[in-house]
Amino acid sequence: MKVLDLDACILLPSYSGSMIFTSGSRPFSPSERLEKEARRILKTPFIQPLRKISPERQAGKSFSERFFHAHHSWEIQPEWKGLCPAKILLLDDVFTTGASVNEASRILKNNGAKSVYILTYLRTAD
């Protein structure tokens, strides 16, 4: 990962601002662990250009529902419009269909990113 010469890392937001989540409510948080290790190893700045706008989760949705839902789940923060760094590492907890990281990558590229690399903690099996 270090050879990619990344400009920034992003942890894909899982919750909208209206949801309450505390790290103590789960015995283990894959996203927190992934972020912690990426910070330790890569020493790349973390930024937050994405905002989750849908209170719904992807879990429990069918394959096609995940893609439709993802298309309306995130938006670029106003201060990041057109200003995303060129090379971004996008971190997410679980890769199921790729709908979430696909949509997040589309938004980032529409706002200046040239390359978006994906790193997930888990990959589900069909």
pTM over cut 0.75? yes
Instruction: Kindly state the helix (H) or strand (E) to which residue 67 belongs, with its residue range.
Output: helix 63-70
Q: What is the pLDDT of residues 88-104, one digit of tens each?
A: 999 998 898 999 999 99
115: Cα within 13 Å, side-chain hemisphere: 8
Residue 19 confidence class, pLDDT cut points 50, 70, 90: very low
| The pLDDT value given to residue 108 | 98
- Cβ-proximal residues to 66 (8 Å cutoff; 6+ apart), any chain: 58, 96, 97, 99, 100
